[in-house]
Chain A
């Protein structure tokens, strides 16, 4: 997201309800269907999120425990390079169904994919470490690619 883009007010939630979603709901409108400029998808629903991104109008995609790139639907797999929106892909360090090793292929297929490893979490990271997931997602939605830069107040005693 560039400086001229606005923080998405609404996010399409292609994932089960979770403690992380509860936290995010305080900052963003979460929709279970319809259109939104940000999409969060869990597991195989990454296909739907990427399809929405390919359709345009999406400025940020968050994927939690996405499948292996090679396991994506064929129509998505062949068009990955056409996706303009930055993607935050979260992998739990204890997730055997979507291990951190999947991140490599995501990075190679999508240069704008930011792989992040959520320590001590499995596929249910949105409930296991809700604050860790929600804070990162909120930062990504707010700052886009700029989330790489720390915007926090580093003073221990302001």
Chain B
């Protein structure tokens, strides 16, 4: 099993934090700077402590995570992370210019000598408002954009693209991608439609903002689809991204985390604006099992979240047992340990404890 660290760069300064998008009238520049820079420090620490990957994400218009352009964060990481792979989980390709995304990946892959992992996501439902894209087009845009990115990475002669959503007269990437034929690609995989597409196209799946029981249903479905399309996924084809806080003991971890959650701006995304979420749902964004998809985004109590594997919380031994469940139920080969609430020295200690007490054990799994 491999370990990734995702330090989400959550803003902990003053904020009104009502709904989504969140106003920035009440805002402290130094708190934002701290959030981004301590995340960079923690990514560097993870690299030095032996994490296999560091990962970043794309979110907009909220204090939840200050990386609306994960490529910029990844660019900074190329100068700090010297060994671990840098996983973009992801780039939200349906709301961006796919060729720009392909170029940015190629730059990162070139600077790092081929250490980039390419998560290509649809983004969260609210994010279709960000750049004014119809969420009903999300899946079709995703599928076309992904094909376009792969084409741009593999073609060496200039080409034009006459798509449904994207048209380019002449594309020719400089620099080129280093990894051949291209970096490992992941997509988010909670819905049946995503699992089918991933299996058909031999793409890995990433689970986030979900629970182990829900992800198990999706992972089982994915494996069934892989058999149908003749693809044999390996454990590394499934990533489980999950919030984490490890302390010396269960009680200490609970005390730390409860205090951090209480002090932080709520900073949630889709479900912070229920009217908007309903409007997105009405476009058909979620697909065939909309109820399950919407359900997994609902916030829950802390005890329930730990029990369902929505968060890894406790001392090292307890967290190891929680990870065991991720391995056994999902067959996940990568755990993306996520710093959702920044606690400074306590978070640093949590990362150290993962490296010292957890990584050596899960590595042999």
Contacts and interface: CB of A to CB of B under 8 A. Distances in A.
Interface of A: 90, 93, 100, 103-104, 107-108, 114-120, 129, 132-133, 136, 147-150
Nearest to B166: A119
Contacts, number: 56
B360 interface: no
Nearest to A150: B169
Nearest to A108: B157
A103 B157 contact: yes
Contacts of B148: 119
7 shortest interchain CB distances as A-B pairs: A116-B160, A107-B157, A119-B163, A148-B169, A118-B162, A132-B162, A115-B159
B159 A119 contact: no
B157 to A, nearest CB: 4
A148 B164 contact: no
A136 B163 CA distance: 11
Contacts of A116: 159-162, 169
Contacts of B301: none
B144, B156, B170 — which one has the most chain A CB atoms within 10 A of its CB? Answer: B170
B162 A107 contact: no
Interface residues of B, number: 17
A117 B164 contact: no
A120 B144 contact: yes
Contacts of B160: 114-117, 136
A107 B170 CA distance: 12
B162 A115 contact: no
Interface of B: 144, 147-148, 151, 155-164, 166, 169-170
Given A107-B158, A119-B148, A147-B169, 11 more contacts: A90-B162, A93-B151, A100-B151, A115-B159, A117-B151, A117-B162, A119-B144, A120-B144, A120-B164, A132-B162, A148-B170
Contacts of A100: 151, 155, 159
B162 A136 contact: yes
A114 B162 contact: no
Nearest to B132: A156
Nearest to B159: A115
Contacts of B159: 100, 103, 115-117
A103 B166 CA distance: 20
Contacts of A93: 147, 151
A152 B260 CA distance: 53
Contacts of A120: 144, 163-164
B157 A117 contact: no
A30 B154 CA distance: 37
A104 B163 contact: no
Contacts of B169: 114, 116, 147-150
A120 B140 CA distance: 11
Contacts of A115: 157-160
A104 B164 contact: no
Contacts of A133: 162
A116 B151 CA distance: 11
A93 B161 CA distance: 10
A59 to B, nearest CB: 19
Nearest to A88: B160
A93 B147 CA distance: 9
Given A100-B151, A148-B170, A119 B161 contact: yes
13 contacts: A90-B162, A103-B155, A104-B155, A114-B170, A115-B158, A115-B160, A116-B162, A117-B151, A117-B160, A117-B161, A119-B161, A119-B166, A147-B169
A53 B280 CA distance: 53
B321 to A, nearest CB: 47
Contacts of A132: 162-164
A86 to B, nearest CB: 13
Contact of B147 (A107, A119, A129, A148): A119
B208 to A, nearest CB: 28
A57 to B, nearest CB: 26
